[in-house]
Amino acid sequence: MNYKTHLTVLEQSAALYSSASAFRLPRLSSDGSVDEWLSISYRQFHLDVERFARHWHSVFSARGLRPRSIVGLW
């Protein structure tokens, strides 16, 4: 059976709609009002998720956590 996860959906979306806007981030002016909206593409978001996954894998590996360990945050 082919199960979809949030990560496989992101990967598929990045492949199908790479340059389409996944979401927009506000760029604020000095007075706090929205100056413009910055578009983040599906491709860029996918690359950012993979980059942060590599970062945290490195951090956790250096501390002796094994792959597939459960990490809780509060």
pLDDT digits (tens, 9 = 90+) for 11-67: 999 999 999 999 999 999 999 999 999 999 999 999 999 999 999 999 999 999 998
More confident residue, 74 or 44: 44
Indicate if the pLDDT at residue 2 is higher than 80.
no
36, burial (CB in 10 Å: exposed 0-12, middle 13-18, buried 19+):
exposed
13 within 8 A of 47, measured Cβ to Cβ: no
Tokens 């979306």, residue? 13
Q: What is the pLDDT, as a whole number, of residue 46? A: 98
Q: What is the pLDDT, as a whole number, of residue 45? A: 97
